[in-house]
Amino acid sequence: MKKVIHLAVLLWMGFFTSAMLSQTQQAATTASKSENSNSAKSGDEVQASNVAPDYVIGADDTLHISVWKEPDLTETLPVRPDGKISMPLLNDITASGLTPLQLRDEITDRLKKYIADPRVTVVVTGMNSRRVFATGEVLHTGPMTLLPHMTVLQALAQAGFTQFANPKAIYLLRIDHGKQQKIPFNYKEVVKGNHPEQNIELKPGDTIVVP
């Protein structure tokens, strides 16, 4: 009789231990899924903010668009001259004029017709629509990427001067509301701390001329 009771106790303890281990494994699995989900969401937020939050997508920009667990919908796309991109299932989507987060939300809403809980990431990998130009007596002529809050002085530091440059007679050409403006920039004075109002923040399409 004692043997039977002892065996029953052992069986009960074995069952109890197995149940506890099962619950522990299920809890660990749930926690892992939750952590992965949070990590994915956090990754979306980080990747979507690789440029300034108010960056506006334009024609010729390059975008990397990924949809979690949907490799067929993940690709790198150029923004066409008409401001649109093309994606499977969704066809043409207007990207120009939107921020990366706005475009992400637009794609997410449209994908809900085909995918449950789509998680979309939009990353600007090429800011080709935001360009300024340097010409004349500079070492590096042509377009350069317009970085956030870039000034005339910063652009000139990147372009460099030739030995024949006249840094006192530099000017900026800007198209504003269809009219061209000519804005003087005296490099010699600005680097001395004089006339800081000349060191303006550049806009896309500005051209710096170094005579």
* Distance set, CA 71 to CA 34, 55, 64, 111 (Å): 22, 26, 12, 14
| For helices 2-48 and 100-111, angle between their N-to-C axes, nearest 10 degrees | 130
Where do the structural domains in the chain lie, given as residue ranges?
48-126, 131-210
Beta-carbon neighbour count of residue 36 at 10 Å?
10
Query: Coil, strand, or helix at residue 92?
Result: strand
| pTM of the predicted structure, to 2 decimals | 0.58
| Model pLDDT, residue 134 | 97
Look at domain 48-126 and name its CATH class: alpha beta
Report, in angstroms and rounded to the nearest whole number, the Rg of the chain calculated over CA atoms.
29
Does domain 131-210 fall into CATH 3.90.870.10? no
64-109: per-residue pLDDT in tens? 999 999 999 999 999 999 999 999 999 899 999 999 999 999 999 9
